[in-house]
Amino acid sequence: MGNEQKENSNKYSIIIPTYNERLNIALLVYLIFKHLPNVNFEISVVDDGSPDGTQDIVKQLQSVYGEDRILLRARPKKLGLGTAYIHGLKHASGNFVVIMDADLSHHPKYLPNFIKKQMETGADIVTGTRYVKGGGVHGWNLMRKLTSRGANVLAQTLLWPGVSDLTGSFRLYRKSVLEDVIGSCVSKGYVFQMEMIVRATRKGYNIAEVPITFVDRVYGSSKLGGSEIVEYLKGLIYLLLTT
């Protein structure tokens, strides 16, 4: 089929916010280069002053892969995810932007799928979904799956978002679309990811999905306590009323 051989003249800026990801960022960079051999891309590491020396590792990676391929966009301290993306967007030279997590829960082997899906459909946003066939999660116990599924059903019923995975943060955006949507988002954390995709849906942007697998490596630590559930519900109500 002609599509596979078509010249991809796009440039992809991969923005990765980091905080204490000294080892993971190196592994992630290696895997990105491994899985995107013929693609024009740059990696923008937005580090919030990690005390573990993440920035030193990034500089070592720059000497291996080139300072034009790996950009270090350092910030003095933890300043939040939304502003991290905005910071990465400044000086991003690609016409597409990928956002992904630094902890290897998002595997770069899916990047070609994101790119291919976008070229096939002309989508403005391609979002990774863990909840469809071909995707999946590893490392979640029953309780975690239950809350995830319950949260998803509630969000689908209230918001009609048009995507199956609202809180996912492995996404490909057309740069102009990301700039447009991010300007109107005010939430924090995973509610921020929800707000981004819901606002994009409301604005009529074309959103496609690709299945991804998600390996949760923070074993044993409960990331969903009562306060997180309350935050989530507050976020849902906020999105219901303001989007």
What are the residues binding another protein (CB under 8 A)?
A: 20, 22-23, 26-27, 30-31, 52, 56-57, 60-61, 63-64, 104, 107, 130-139, 142, 145-146, 149-150, 152-154, 157-160, 202, 213, 215, 240-243
| Nearest-angstrom CA–CA distance, 72 and 207 | 29
Measured from the CB atom, the residue of 134 and 183 that comes closer to another protein is 134
Measured from the CB atom, the residue of 230 and 240 that comes closer to another protein is 240
Q: How far is the CB of 147 from another protein (least distance, A)?
A: 10
Q: How far is the CB of 196 from another protein (least distance, A)?
A: 15
The residue length of the chain stands at: 243
Q: How far is the CB of 48 from another protein (least distance, A)?
A: 16
State whether the Cα torsion 4-69-102-237 is positive or negative.
negative
Count of beta carbons in the 10 Å neighbourhood of residue 182: 20
Measured from the CB atom, the residue of 94 and 169 that comes closer to another protein is 169
Q: How far is the CB of 180 from another protein (least distance, A)?
A: 18
Q: How far is the CB of 10 from another protein (least distance, A)?
A: 26
Measured from the CB atom, the residue of 11 and 202 that comes closer to another protein is 202
Burial 14-53 (b: 16+ CB within 10 A, else e): bbbbbbbbbebbbebbeebbeebeeeebbbbbbbbebeee
Measured from the CB atom, the residue of 93 and 150 that comes closer to another protein is 150
Q: How far is the CB of 1 from another protein (least distance, A)?
A: 28
Measured from the CB atom, the residue of 91 and 138 that comes closer to another protein is 138
Work out whether strand 40-48 and strand 11-18 pair parallel, antiparallel, or are unpaired.
parallel
